[in-house]
Structure 1
Amino acid sequence: MTSSPHPDPDPDPQPRDTRGRESDGSSPPGETPPAEGGMSGAGPAHDPPKGWAKGPLALILGLAVLIAAFFLVYALVLLL
């Protein structure tokens, strides 16, 4: 068994013993708080397409034209 050159100090230090911390756990004025960890910049860039796809747009417009034609024919039948 080999010993490490730098023995690990207390693995669970008390907040009052931790350098750079106030007794309530906050950072003192002028002390930089620890950086946040995160994965915000990880992974490939994703550039989603903008606007409507031609298929759904054509389907919606076609349905609107059919409904308008139905009501136009219905109005002509009522007038005659």
Structure 2
Amino acid sequence: MSPGSHAKTLLTQPLMVVVGEQVGACGAYRDGCEIIGRAASRKKELVVVEGCSHYDLYDQPEPVGQALARLIPFYQENL
């Protein structure tokens, strides 16, 4: 079953998906694109952090900072 198989039913609230620009072997980039495309949310956004991989988003200060710069305002507005 794909990660986005229930997105139309379950993902109805505002949604932001963050992925690294560099496509890796684990499929996080592909899965993020699939989920955002299938989500039923009216307010949804895909954030692609340039120059990093999925793993850089765990603990590398620059990519994490770029992701947080988008996530914080999004959740302040939508929570």
Task: Report the TM-score when normalising by structure 2.
Answer: 0.24
Q: Which has the larger radius of gyration?
A: 1
Higher relative contact order structure (alpha carbons within 8 Å, sequence separation ≥ 6): 2
Higher strand share: 2
Higher helix share: 2
